[in-house]
């Protein structure tokens, strides 16, 4: 499976797609990028006159790249990708270290802890364009085929 195929199989569309590009992927890790457009609706109210990206959106971006995209790759490599895939986030433990402002590009890196019985658990981190650590943690989810 190539990087573009992963993007096509993601179960999200704008305005809730937080993956622009997959940079690298293999059996154990994935990395990808996303730029937070200043036009995103949530910036209008978070925070008044000083918009920052909500932590829940940062977590979602890390989940879409570091969990869902890697899960699609792993399911394809196990020849088990027929039908539609859904992903349910089962847990997250994220530490937020730096704000992300409108217009910023981030890179997400994820390393697989384990993938068994369609449950994927990963160590994830997000860095800004200057390689500063924005947030890090552990995300897990179930990958379900329809």
The domain locations on the chain are: 3-145
Superfamily assignment of 3-145 in CATH? Hotdog Thioesterase (3.10.129.10)
Q: Give the active site residues.
A: 46
- What pLDDT sits at residue 27? 96
Residue 48 is predicted with a pLDDT of 87
**pLDDT value at 57 more than 90:** yes
Kindly report, residue by residue over 80-107, the tens digit of the pLDDT.
555 567 788 999 999 999 999 999 999 9
Rounded Cα distance between 18 and 63, Å, is: 9
């Amino acid at each position: 499976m190539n990087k573009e195929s992963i993007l096509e199989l993601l179960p999200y569309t704008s305005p809730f797609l937080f993956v622009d590009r997959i940079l690298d992927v293999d059996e154990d890790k994935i990395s990808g990028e996303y730029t937070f457009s200043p036009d995103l609706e949530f910036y209008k109210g978070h925070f008044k006159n000083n918009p920052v990206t909500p932590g829940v959106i940062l977590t979602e971006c890390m989940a879409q790249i570091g969990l869902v995209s890697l899960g699609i790759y792993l399911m394809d490599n196990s020849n088990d990708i027929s039908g539609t895939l859904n992903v349910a986030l089962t847990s997250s433990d994220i530490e937020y270290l730096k704000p992300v402002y409108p217009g910023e590009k981030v890179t997400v890196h994820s390393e697989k802890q384990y993938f068994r019985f369609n449950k994927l658990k990963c160590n994830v981190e997000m860095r800004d364009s200057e390689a500063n650590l924005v947030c890090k943690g552990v995300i897990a989810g179930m990958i379900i085929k329809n």
